[in-house]
Amino acid sequence: MSNLILGIDAGNHMAKVAGEYGIDSYRTAICEWFERDVVEIHGADDMEFEIDGRKGFAGTIAVYEDEFGGGSMFGDSKAHEDTKIRVLLAIHRYIEKYSPGIENVSLVTGQPISSHKDAEKKKIIEMLKGTHELIVNKEWRRIHIHDVAVGAEGSGAYWATSGIRSARIIDVGSGTVNCATIADKRYINNASDTFNFGMETVNNKNDLASIARGIIRGTTKLKWDKNDIVLICGGISKDILPFIAKYYVSARLLEPLLKNRGDVIFADPVFANAIGFYNLARMTFK
């Protein structure tokens, strides 16, 4: 039976998925299920789900419906129940879009650098591994997850680059900013960290100059040099790059390289972790 290999970056704002057929993403807002008087379509990614007994809505509909505004868990660990829902919905969407009928999956997913520890990783692996039953938009599906490995956000994106031996990576997310140092293809723990703020948790998300200053302040404490090669990824990369480049003069976008059934494409920097995780998954599980 064929096995689908995926890289899944289950972000607090968007889930990003990469695999041999290409990429997919959806808005990861989740809210509890309720009886709908008026059935209104909010977005193409709207999903009504029942997963391992939990019922709810996900996608753009949950952004509008959740009275607590989005309902995302912006913590610095992804070892919680919402991650399971996000990952399973991501798999469901990918199979529906690209490979109907597949039930067997092996995957690499991510965790912020600061909580990339054995106990947290074990929780994620135990939560995901095994057989899950889903009903999404009234369609039933079974998914067997055979293998799970947990990569680090930011540093995982290195595996989506090519021809680079050493670099600094800044992944600006919605709840966290992950900053990774890779020297001679090795991850350097002492020069990497997670900052506990992101685009959706700052006071003013339009003030990119201040957010960039916060990131620069944090990374100079890690002894990054202004002439280092700095690669930027995450959903806001293109907009924040000019502000980061004011200090890190050699900063540029991390445009992840995806080998897609013979073709090679450069994807948007928001897919950097997902594609890096996919490449790690291919190396680990084949």
Q: Which residue is nearest to Mg ion (CB)?
A: 173
Q: In whole angstroms, how close is the CB of 65 to Mg ion at the nearest point?
A: 23
Burial of residue 268 (CB within 10 Å: 0-12, 13-18, 19+) is middle
x-or-dash string of contact with Mg ion, 121-160, rule CB under 5 A: ----------------------------------------
Phi, psi at 7, each rounded to 5°: -110, 125
Instruction: At 18, list the tokens.
Output: 């990469």
Q: In whole angstroms, how close is the CB of 268 to Mg ion at the nearest point?
A: 13
Q: Residue 56: which of Mg ion, ligand ATP, none does it interact with, CB under 5 to 8 A by kind? A: none
Q: Residue 175: which of Mg ion, ligand ATP, none does it interact with, CB under 5 to 8 A by kind? A: ligand ATP
Q: Which of 194, 212, 196 is nearest to 204 (CA)?
A: 212
Cα–Cα distance, 139 to 203 (Å, whole number): 40
Cα–Cα distance, 131 to 175 (Å, whole number): 30
Cα–Cα distance, 246 to 216 (Å, whole number): 10
- Of the candidates 91, 148, 236, 258, which one interacts with ligand ATP according to CB under 6 A? 236
CB-nearer residue toward ligand ATP: 11 or 151? 11
Cα–Cα distance, 61 to 161 (Å, whole number): 35
Query: Binding segment for Mg ion among 11-19, 99-107, 204-212, 274-282 (CB under 5 A)?
Result: 11-19
x-or-dash string of contact with ligand ATP, 172-211, rule CB under 6 A: -xxxx---------------------xxx----x------
- CA 172-158-183 angle, to 5 degrees, is 105
Query: Binding segment for Mg ion among 5-13, 51-59, 69-77, 200-208 (CB under 5 A)?
Result: 5-13
Cα–Cα distance, 207 to 187 (Å, whole number): 31
Asked if 109 contacts 8 with a C-beta cutoff of 8 angstroms, the reply is yes
Query: Binding segment for Mg ion among 18-26, 116-124, 172-180, 192-200 (CB under 5 A)?
Result: 172-180
CB atoms < 10 A from the CB of 186, how many?
A: 11
CB-nearer residue toward Mg ion: 106 or 109? 109
Query: Binding segment for ligand ATP among 42-50, 125-133, 135-143, 234-242 (CB under 6 A)?
Result: 234-242
Cα–Cα distance, 6 to 17 (Å, whole number): 7
CB-nearer residue toward ligand ATP: 141 or 216? 216
Q: Residue 235: which of ligand ATP, Mg ion, none does it interact with, CB under 5 to 8 A by kind? A: ligand ATP
Coil vs helix vs strand at 125: helix
Instruction: At 106, list the tokens.
Output: 């092996």
For ligand ATP, the binding residues (CB under 6 A) are 11-14, 153, 173-176, 198-200, 205, 234-236, 270
